[in-house]
Amino acid sequence: MTGPPTLTARRSLLLGLLLVGISAYFILGLKLTELNPGPGGLKLGKRFFSAAFSPALTNEDSAALSGANPLWKNAIVACWETIRISAAAVSLSLVFGLAFGFFGATAWWRNRSSGMRNPLYRFFLRYCAPLLYGITRILITFTRSVHELLWATLFLAALGMGPLAAVFALTIPFSGTFAKIFSEMIDEADPSAARALELAGAGPLQVVCFALLPAALPDMIAYTLYRFECGLRSSAVMGFMGVLTLGYYIDASFENRHYHEVWTYLYAMIFLIVFFEKWSDAIRRRLTEGVS
Amino acid sequence: MTLAKLHRDRPRSWFLIVSAGFFLLLVLTSWLTGDFKLSDFTSERSVRNLNRFLNHDIIPRPIRDGEAGWEALPSWVGGVLARDGWKAMGNTLWISIVAILFAAIGAACLVPGAARNTASSHPFMGRTHPSKRWQSVVFLCRGLLVFCRGIPEFIWAFLLIGILGINAWPAVLALALHNMGILGRLGAETVENLPLDIPRALRISGASRRQVFLFGIFPLVLPRMLVYFFYRWETCVREATVIGLLGISSLGYYITEAHARFKYDELLLYILLGSALILAGDFVSAIVRKCLRETDVEPG
C-alpha cells in the first residue's frame, strides 16, 4: 500500500524555509530574554503604548513653546509636505520611467528589422536598439538596487539636504522601478494590435504609442497609483533625514518624550495611507473591470 | 453616424475623470508650491562640495593618499570586507529572513479572522447575515493589519529601538510587523477570492473550522502566498539594510558610521555591498517565484 508521497516539492520548500529561518535566528544570536526591555524600558513602553489611546490634541508642553504652531496645524503641514514630496517624486520618476521603460522593452525592436525598407531604420533596429536596451537594463538594475534613504545619504554627503534633494533621492530608485515594471508590461501586452499596425507599415515609435501602450495603460495607471502610496511611506521616512515630512515630527516628538503627540502623527500617517489606498483601490477596480 | 454614436456612448466614469483631475492638480501644486530650489544644486558651494566628493572623498584612501595605484583596490575592498563587510552583509540577510518568517506566521494566524468568508458563523456557506460577534472579529483583525502596515518599517524600528534598546530584535520586529500587515491583507484577499466548492464540500462532510482551514484553504492559497512571501522578502532585504541607519548592526549602521567619520570611500563601498546583496536577493527570489509559477498551476 503506497500513500501519497511524504516529501513533495512543496513540503520540502516549506521545511527548508523553516530550517533556514531557525538557523538565521541562532546565527543572529537572538535571545528571547533580550525582548524584556528591563524595568526602565518596560515603564517607557507602557507609557508609550498607553498613549496610543489618547493621542494629543494640543502641544504637550505649551508653556515652553508658546510661539510654536498648534499641533493640528503641524500635523496638517507635515501631511501636506509628505504628499507634496511624494507627488513631485512620483511624477518626475514617471517621466523617466516611461522613457527608460520604452528603451528597456524588447517588443518594439526584437524580430522587427526584416520588414523595414529604410536602411537607416533597419540599422537602428538591428544594432542601436539592442545596445540601448543593454545600457538601460544595467542602469535600471543599479538605480533600483540602492534604497532611497541611501541615495539621500549620498546626497547629504555630497551636497547637503533640502526638499529637492529628497525628491531626487526618491526619484532615482522609483524611476528604475517604474522602468522595470513598465517595460515588462509593454512586453507582455497583447501583440496582435502591434502586429497589425506593423503590417500596415507603422514604425517602432508608432507601434509603441498606438498599439502597445494603450494595451498596457490600465495596468500602468494602477501601478503608478501603487507607487504613489509607496512614495507617501518613503517621503514620511525621509523626515528622519531632516526634511519636514511626518517622520521629522515623529522623530522630534519621540525624542522630547511627547508620546501623545507621536501617536497623533502616527494616526495622521495611517489615515493618509489608508485614504489613498482605498481611493486607488476604487480607481483600480473601475479600470480593470471596465467602466460601465 | 455610427462612429459618432459609438463615440457618444463610450464608457465614461465621473469618478475616474474627477480623480485624474485631482491627481493632476496635486502634481502641479506640489511642484509650484514646494520649496524646491534648484540653487541647492547649482550654487557655487554645492558645486564645490560635489566636486570634492566625486574627485577626492570617494576615492579609496590608500589611492587618494598616493600610497598605491588603482591596483591596490582589491586589497582595500578585501580589507573592509574582512573587518566589517561580511558581518554586516550577513546580519542584514539574517535579519530579513527571520523577520519575513515571523511576518508569515503572524499573517497566517490573522488571515482566518480577516477574511469575510471564514470569519462567519457559517463559513463558506455563501453570504448569510454575519452576526455582530463575527463582524467585530473581522473589524479587529483588519484594524490590526491596517495599523501594522500603515506605519513604515523604518518608523516601527525607530519606535521599538526607543523601547527595547539597540539589538537585533527591533529590526526583526519592525520588519515582521509591517510585512505581517501586508501579507495578512493579501492573504485575506486571496482567501476571499477562492472558489468555494472544496472548502464547502469539506464543511458539509463534517470538517471542523480548523480542519477546513488546514486541509481545504491552506493548500489552495499556498502557491500564491509563497509568491507574495518571496516578493516581500526582497523588500525586507532592502529595508533591513537601511534600518541599520538607526544603529542596528546591519549594513546601514556601517554606512552611518562611515558618514560620521567622513570616510566617504567606505560609505560608498558599503552602499555598493548593500546593492550587491539586494541584487542577489532579487535574483534568488525571481528564480523561486518562476519555479513556483511553473510547477503550481492555479488552484481550482
For B207-227, write each residue's pLDDT tens digit: 888 888 888 888 888 888 988
- Please give the residue of chain A at the shortest CA–CA distance from B278: A145
Q: What is the mean pLDDT of residues A68-93?
A: 91
Task: Output the pLDDT for position B127.
Answer: 62
Give contacts of B163 with chain A, Cβ < 8 Å: 37, 41, 44-45, 48
Question: Do the Cβ atoms of A145 and B278 come within 8 Å?
Answer: yes
The answer, yes or no, to whether residue A7 has pLDDT greater than 70, is no
Task: Read off the pLDDT band of A65 (50, 70, 90).
Answer: low
Residues of B in contact with A28 (CB under 8 A): 91, 94-95, 98, 168, 172
Q: What is the mean pLDDT of chain A?
A: 85
Q: What is the DSSP letter of A65?
A: T
**Which residues lie below 8 Å from residue A65, measured CB to CB, with a gap of 6+?**
A59
Among the partner residues B12, B30, B57, nearest to A87 by beta-carbon distance: B30
With 70 as the cut, is the pLDDT of residue A199 above it?
yes
Note the pLDDT of residue B99: 95
Give the pLDDT of residue B126. Answer: 65
Chain-chain contact of A149 with B13 (C-beta, under 8 angstroms): no
A contacts of B296 (beta carbons < 8 Å): 10
Residue A147 with chain B: CB contacts under 8 Å: 238-239, 241-242, 274, 278
* A53 Cβ neighbours under 8 A, 6+ residues apart: none
Share of chain B above pLDDT 70, in %: 96
Helix locations, chain A, DSSP H = 9-28, 38-50, 71-104, 119-123, 129-145, 148-158, 163-188, 192-199, 204-207, 213-238, 246-255, 259-289
Question: In chain A, what residues touch B275 (CB-CB under 8 Å)?
Answer: 142, 145-146
| Average confidence (pLDDT) over B257-279 | 90
CATH code assigned to B73-295: 1.10.3720.10
- Asked if A28's CB is within 8 angstroms of B94's CB, the reply is yes
CA-based nearest residue in chain A for residue B98: A21
pLDDT band per the 50, 70, 90 thresholds, residue A40: confident
Band of residue A116 on the pLDDT scale cut at 50, 70, 90: low
Mean pLDDT over the full length of chain B:
87
Q: What distance in Å separates the CA atoms of residue B280 and residue B228, rounded to the nearest whole number?
A: 18
Q: Tell me the nearest-neighbour CA distance from A122 into chain B, angstroms.
A: 34
Residue B118 scores a pLDDT above 90: no
The pLDDT of residue A279 is above 90? yes
Q: What is the ipTM of this complex?
A: 0.84
A63 pLDDT exceeds 60?
no
Look at residues B199, B150, B172 and name the one whose alpha carbon lies nearest to residue B299: B199
Looking at chain A, the whole-number percentage of residues with pLDDT higher than 90 is: 39
Mutation site for B-interface testing, chosen from A86, A147, A241 by largest number of B Cβ within 10 Å: A147
Please check the confidence at residue A59 and state whether its pLDDT lies above 80.
no
Dump pLDDT digits (tens) for B249-261: 899 999 999 988 8
For residue A271, give the chain B residue with the closest CA. Answer: B150
- Interchain contact, B164 vs A35, CB within 8 Å: yes
Instruction: Check pLDDT > 80 for residue B294.
Output: no
pLDDT at B235: 92
Give me the residue spans of the domains in chain B: 73-295
Q: By CA distance, what is B147's nearest residue in A?
A: A270
Q: pLDDT of B158-169, one tens digit each? A: 999 988 888 889
Find the mean pLDDT for residues B253-271: 90
Tell me the chain A residues in contact with residue B15 when contact means C-beta distances shorter than 8 Å.
282-283, 286
* pLDDT, tens digit, 9 for 90 and up, residues B18-41: 999 999 999 999 999 877 877 777
Contact check, Cβ <8 Å, B271/A154: yes
Rounded CA-CA distance B281/B100 in Å is 13
CA distance B87 to chain A (A): 10
| Domain residue limits, chain A | 71-289
What is the structure's pLDDT at A43?
84
Do A229 and A276 form a contact (C-beta atoms < 8 A)?
A: yes
Tell me which chain B residue has its CA closest to the CA of residue A21: B98
pLDDT above 60 for B298: no
Q: Which overall architecture, per CATH, does domain A71-289 show?
A: Orthogonal Bundle (1.10)
Exposed/middle/buried for A139, CB within 10 Å: 0-12, 13-18, 19+? middle
For residue B6, pLDDT over 90 is answered with no
Grid cell of B207 as nine digits: 470538517
Q: B-chain residues within 8 Å CB-CB of A269?
A: 150-151, 155
Chain B residues in contact with A83 by the CB 8 A cut-off are: 26, 30
User: Which chain B residue has its CA at the smallest distance from A147's CA?
Assistant: B238
pLDDT digits (tens, 9 = 90+) for A131-185: 999 999 999 999 999 999 999 988 888 887 788 889 999 999 999 999 999 998 8
Given pLDDT bands bounded at 50, 70 and 90, which one contains residue A115? low
User: For residue B74, what is its C-alpha cell?
Assistant: 582589491
State the nearest Cα–Cα gap between A255 and chain B, in angstroms.
9
